[in-house]
Amino acid sequence: MTHKNQTLGEFIIENQQQFPYATGELSRLINSIRLAAKMVNHEVNKAGLVDITGTVGATNIQGEAQQKLDVFANETFINTLTNREIVCGIASEENEDFITIRGQQHDHQNNYVVLIDPLDGSSNIDVNVSVGTIFSIYRRVTPIGTAVTLEDFLQPGHLQVAAGYVIYGTSTMLVYTTGHGVNGFTLNPALGTYYLSHPNMLFPENGNIYSINEGNYVHFPAGIKAYIKYCQEEKEDRPYTSRYIGSLVSDIHRNMIKGGIYIYPSTSTAPEGKLRLLYECNPMAFIAEQAGGMASDGNMRVLDIRPTALHQRTPFICGSKNMVEKAISFVQNPALSKKQTFV
Ligand code: P6P
């Protein structure tokens, strides 16, 4: 039984028996993420005060200018996860290759791999817009006692054992699922404790918020253009409204609470879209489905995509079920727009 104001620690203990491998390992893993998030939150919250914003002059493997907080967040999560005897490997947006963790006995006995986007939306840091951390957790598939391989990381999203995000916004929240619904915990910075503030989060089936970077409109496929026009046409009931923060965690978190759809499609300049499958789309898709929503690449369920590369991208349509289904109908049948009367 979950109740408001339960602490994250109490919630983990009370619910760990739900988890088939309830040896406490996953609980310790979530606890590690909880601690790292507190440390990153502390730095994010003072970013404007000390010389920690701005770029470090380096670029990450994505070729993106690395913000100092990117580097701090990446190192914090990697170090915190490495120091617990739970994780046997980590893949991060900031690192070209995965990191092997042998364990204190150097014998590769740990069971889980973690894939992480340590600070998503970091280009927003210098303008004081909310950013987030996204994480995805799998059990390894290669034998215990051997070093992890790429195979342990290239698992389809439906095999995730847990996924979640931290949103560093007006308040800091940790939102995660282990396959038994989605729960949101808000950090009380004065106490350093997370409290259950959003039990059993659910996407409203319908919504009227669409989130997409319309600056790329001319590069969108016909079906996405048609769906945007559909959102803009007169509606008997509520008119749609466009909300786009440019921070995946913030846009999806808002849409999960208010009802809405987030789209980052393929474009003529980026045929596979921009978002990364393994540590952005799969964890957000797991959460979306656990919250009664839906996540598709326009043709198939995101969680069924069979990964082939650590940093591969995918088109991403995620949010309220009925809205995602409507968007997919346009993507799969752009001519649909000709039957719509755009007045
Ligand atoms: P654009 C941030 O870089 C990010 O990965 C997501 O958090 C965000 O939704 C998207 O890219 C924004 O991309 O091209 O609209 O600036």
- Helical H segments across 176-261, by residue range: 222-232, 248-258
Among candidates 201, 61, 70, 196, which has minimal Cα distance to 131?
70
Taking CA atoms only, the protein residue closest to ligand 1 atom 16 is 246
Q: Report d(CA 150, CA 156) in Å as an integer.
A: 13
Least confident of 80-84, 98-102, 152-156: 80-84
For the entire predicted model, the pTM comes to: 0.93
Mean pLDDT of 336-341: 54
pLDDT-derived band of residue 2, with 50, 70 and 90 as boundaries?
low
Q: Is the pLDDT of residue 153 over 50?
A: yes
The pLDDT of residue 187: 95
Q: Concatenate the DSSP letters of all residues of 67-108 into one string.
A: EHHHHHHHHHHHHHHHTSTTEEEEEETT-SS-EE--TTTTS-
The pLDDT of residue 105: 80
Taking CA atoms only, the protein residue closest to ligand 1 atom 12 is 246
* Mutational pocket test of ligand 1: of 70, 117, 120, the residue with most ligand atoms within 8 Å of the beta carbon: 120
Better-predicted residue by pLDDT, 105 or 96: 96
Question: What separation in Å is there between the alpha carbon of 274 and the centre of ligand 1?
Answer: 8
Atom of ligand 1 nearest to the CA of 121: 2
Q: Report d(CA 81, CA 101) in Å as an integer.
A: 9
Q: Report d(CA 270, CA 247) in Å as an integer.
A: 18
Atom of ligand 1 nearest to the CA of 280: 5
Strands (E), 105-250: 112-120, 131-139, 162-168, 172-177, 183-188, 193-198, 209-211, 241-242
Ligand 1 proximal residues by C-beta, below 6 Å: 120-121, 123, 213, 246-248, 251, 274-275
pLDDT digits (tens, 9 = 90+) for 268-280: 989 999 999 999 9
The pLDDT of residue 337: 61
The pLDDT of residue 343: 35
Question: How deeply is 95 buried, as exposed, middle or buried, from its count of CB atoms within 10 A (0-12, 13-18, 19+)?
Answer: middle
